[in-house]
Amino acid sequence: MTRREWSGGERLPHGGFIAVANHLSDADPFTFGLFLVDHGIYPRILAKDSLFRVPVVGRVLRSAGIIPVERGRASAAASLEEARAALAAGECVAIYPEGTHTFDPDLWPMTAKTGAARLALTTRAPVVPVAQWGPQEFRPPHSRRINVRALPFPARVRAGGPVDLSDLYDDAPSPSAGAVAAATGRIMAALTAELAILRGMEPPAQPYDRSRGPAGP
């Protein structure tokens, strides 16, 4: 189903860590997870709670240990607590910091939500950027269309080294807004840099602002 091209697997840490990936398509959770599993890591992935209400799919997600995230609700804190417990147990927690497919018309990572940064700052777990490119040829972003002619579709995935957030750690019960913003920026910059290597292109100077919504035609 895929033409795999993995790189950077030697940079994946042992023990609990946070893997963050760019989000291009409904097909890329498959390649993200497959990359980790092929390197002996069975991740706990944070996924939107609506997927758990889909018949059959919901049961599969629960049995696979996927962590549901109720977006925009106070109960999202419970999802982060479950993720913290997984990290403390030495597991990998996999997150899409953007929260949805990128809105950038050229498919570069857009500005992110803050969940990954908050989790990293409160647990001090290593954060590893995992860039991916190719799944969008099979399932375009923001689309229900499947391009069967793209099979086997290219699955190019590259892991970078852990993002250094150590200067942002403190002993406060929760990180400051400034620390969260700085950590989010660093995480996304590292992810974009790895994607630029995969694509062999220069990324935009500034990420697409998610608050603008999808770019027009």
In tens, the pLDDT along 44-69 reads 887 767 656 655 546 656 666 667 77
Give the predicted TM-score (pTM) of the model.
0.88
Select from 33, 41, 34 the least CA-distant residue to 10. 41
Q: What pLDDT band is residue 28 in, cutting at 50, 70 and 90? A: confident
What whole-number distance in Å separates Cα of residue 61 and Cα of residue 165?
31
Burial of 15 from C-beta contacts in 10 A (0-12 / 13-18 / 19+): exposed
Q: Which CATH superfamily is domain 2-211 in?
A: Glycerol-3-phosphate (1)-acyltransferase (3.40.1130.10)
Domain range annotation of the chain? 2-211
Q: Report the pLDDT averaged over residues 170-188.
A: 94
Tokens of 194: 């790895």
Tell me if residue 86 falls in helix, strand or coil. Answer: helix
Tokens of 197: 């290597």
Question: Is it the case that residue 37 has pLDDT exceeding 80?
Answer: yes
Question: Is it the case that residue 74 has pLDDT exceeding 60?
Answer: no
* Phi, psi at 18, each rounded to 5°: -105, 120
